[in-house]
Chain A
Amino acid sequence: MIDVQNVTRRFGSLTAVDDLTFEVEKGEVVGFLGLNGAGKSTTMRMMTGYLPPTSGSLRIGGFDVLTDSLEVRRRIGYLAEGVPLYREHRVSEMLAFQGRLFGMKRADIRRRTGEVLDRVGLSDRSRSLVGKLSKGMRQRVGIAVALLHEPDVLILDEPTSGLDPLQRVGVRRLVAELAEEHTVMISSHILPEIEAVCGRLILLHKGAKVADGTKHELLKKLGGSHLKLVVAASSTDGLRLKRALAGVLCKDELAQEGAIFVRERGDALEATLRVEQNPAEAVGLLAAARGWILRELSWHEPSLEQLFGRLATGATEEEAALSKHDGGDSPEGVAYADTAELKPAGPEPGSTGSDSPQQGAEA
């Protein structure tokens, strides 16, 4: 349905979108993720034909955006960032205007106006002035306007920006419903937003695509999932712990650098296994067999936020995965987040015992 090939867009010396290529099948819901200035809006504007690309080609529904611009525009419902509507008009007038712009018949406009307002939950507001509506309602009017002509492709640029949490949930639910019958592209810099709605995510950073796939695939590609194990130091020592854990992992996993970290924290040993699949069961069985006194066994998948943080700061994989860790899911809230203290276990347990004062205070 959407075919973007090697698209580059420059503004003077600034490259906003850099050799971007992706395809979207009919019925897919794709989320565009990126920080401010990553090129999300520019890409969407190029898809609507508003901005011509500097190079590359975009096709929507088989029509070239540049040469068959009007055909493309007929098939697109576009909600630009900031929801540009004419505030001096009533909601119904705004919809009627959209209908006439798209050359719809009067009866069709009337029928569809009822349908889309119903859809976005604003049936009772058709006589309200657009400018007098709350931001969340205006956003929904914007979506109604974009939906009016039954477009094949719906392009929503930051549909939830500036909304309160409740309104966000509302818009999210609406988008999830729309996803059932349209090809949808949504952009956002708010990750949970898009994570919840989109089957597929495209991560943009500085105009280039850095990842493309389901949330799971992205996590896998960008890495960072790990199992955390805390056992009482009295029940084993670091070296034994490490060796025993190595038995749980397969060869490939072991081959990765730093697959197992063990360090001493007060009267406990903390092990981190950096693997893709959760080995918690095997590790649990191992703990039982060896008689380790288990204090914590938890599986951590980094959120997209953490992956993003890494992209933005250019931090290394392990730094990001660990430093961006939100302490919420580790009950003790230990100084686990501090990467500087994470050291691989030496041959002697004593060699890892260089506790910093801060660590000692917390332990």
Chain B
Amino acid sequence: MSGFRAIFQRELTGLFLTPLAWVLLVAAICLNGFMVVAALMGSGGDVDGAFNYMLGTSGAYWMLMISLPPLLTMRTISEESKGGQLEFLLTAPVTDGAVILGKHLAVVVFLSVLWAVVPIYGLTLELLGVSPDWGQMALGYLGAVLVSALFSALGMVASALSSTPLLAAFLGFIFNIALLVLPMGAGSLGGTVGRALNALAGKLDVLTHLQLSFMRGALDSADVIFFLAWTGLFLFAATRIVEGRRMWS
């Protein structure tokens, strides 16, 4: 357990010590700031609608969701495997799972900080005299964190499969898009294969799970579990791939 904490802390400080993380953070804050203003002006001052848009329906939200986690997870395994740091970690008295989990949690915490900017804009409005729906905001934020966790876990799988960070980022990006698009496309397919694919897609439908629960302001524990379960599954896969790398590489 102390090993897990040590890895989590080091990864988090490591993230904040790299320029890339700061660049992503600033870029995301700027984009979100612009989007809040645009949404408020576009809706004629519908504050709740604007924040709902910010935390779930906007294209910018999904763009960031698809692209940021792979950029943060790309180095975690592929680069450290090449540079030998992974060997250093895996020869310390820490289980493989703790290494993967520690790294993943650090990325998720970083993304949580990144998304916290949206409630901060809400706070700004509150100070200006317009109160947003804070319950809705909190759920939207929780949803953003859970989606980040899921996509980061997928990014870890990509990183474990790749030999270079660039490849890992690209692969993670593709995985994330596939996860989002699969449920949309599967419905249009017919036949046995189509139905099977559709059934699988139904179990993987991130968009619906997010919109049904977190964006309506009604929290359903099943939806929380949906995200946690898939995150756990992908992390497990990443752990097994790392083990496999040692077996065969």
- A interface residue numbers (CB < 8 A to B): 11-12, 45, 48-52, 70-71, 73-74, 76, 78, 80-86, 88-89, 93, 97-98, 100-103
Contacts and interface: CB of A to CB of B under 8 A. Distances in A.
B189 interface: no
For this complex, into which size category does the number of interface residues on chain B fall? 20 to 34
Given A81-B84, A84-B84, A97 B93 contact: no
Contacts, number: 71
Given A101-B92, A102-B92, 15 more contacts: A50-B91, A52-B246, A70-B95, A71-B93, A76-B91, A78-B91, A80-B84, A81-B84, A83-B84, A84-B87, A86-B85, A88-B17, A93-B13, A100-B6, A103-B93
Contact of B6 (A82, A83, A97): A97
The 9 closest A-B pairs by CB, nearest first: A84-B84, A100-B6, A101-B92, A48-B91, A73-B93, A88-B17, A103-B2, A70-B93, A84-B85
21 contacts: A49-B91, A50-B90, A50-B246, A51-B246, A70-B93, A73-B92, A73-B93, A74-B93, A76-B91, A78-B91, A80-B84, A80-B87, A81-B84, A82-B84, A85-B88, A86-B14, A98-B92, A100-B5, A100-B6, A101-B3, A103-B2
Nearest to A75: B93
- Of the candidates A45, A86, A98, the one having the most CB atoms from chain B within 10 angstroms of its own CB is A86
A71 B93 CA distance: 7
Nearest to A100: B6
Interface in B1-18: 2-3, 5-7, 9-10, 13-14, 17-18
Nearest to B3: A101
B77 to A, nearest CB: 14
A284 B85 CA distance: 60
Given A86-B14, A86-B85, A101-B6, A11 B248 contact: yes
B93 A80 contact: no
Contacts of B7: 101
Contacts of B2: 100-101, 103
Nearest to B11: A86
A74 B93 CA distance: 6
B222 to A, nearest CB: 37
B83 interface: yes
Nearest to B91: A48
Contacts of B3: 100-103
Contacts of A50: 87, 90-91, 246
Contacts of A11: 248-249
A133 B89 CA distance: 21
A73 B9 CA distance: 21
Nearest to A44: B91
Given A50-B246, A80-B87, A89-B17, A102 B10 contact: no
B70 to A, nearest CB: 21
A179 B94 CA distance: 27
Main secondary structure of the interface of B (DSSP, over half): helix
A101 B84 contact: no
Contacts of A84: 83-85, 87-88
Interface of B: 2-3, 5-7, 9-10, 13-14, 17-18, 83-85, 87-95, 246-249
A88 B79 CA distance: 14
Nearest to B80: A84
- Of the candidates A78, A80, A101, the one having the most CB atoms from chain B within 10 angstroms of its own CB is A101
Nearest to B82: A84
Contacts of B9: 100
A89 B13 CA distance: 9
Contact of A97 (B10, B18, B249): B10
Contacts of A86: 10, 14, 85
Nearest to B89: A101
Contact of A52 (B14, B18, B87, B247): B247
B159 to A, nearest CB: 17
Nearest to B247: A52
A65 B230 CA distance: 33
A341 B189 CA distance: 83
A91 to B, nearest CB: 14
B239 to A, nearest CB: 15
A50 B248 CA distance: 12
A74 B91 CA distance: 9
A85 B92 CA distance: 13
Contacts of A80: 84, 87-88, 91
Nearest to B83: A84
Nearest to A76: B91
- Of the candidates A84, A85, A102, the one having the most CB atoms from chain B within 10 angstroms of its own CB is A84
A112 B145 CA distance: 39
B6 A45 contact: no
A12 B249 CA distance: 9
A50 to B, nearest CB: 5
A51 B248 CA distance: 9
B6 to A, nearest CB: 3
A100 B84 CA distance: 19
A251 to B, nearest CB: 54
A235 B7 CA distance: 79
A120 B249 CA distance: 33
A84 B87 CA distance: 8
A247 to B, nearest CB: 60
Contacts of B93: 70-71, 73-74, 101-103
Contacts of B246: 50-52
A339 B15 CA distance: 62
Contacts of B92: 73, 98, 101-102
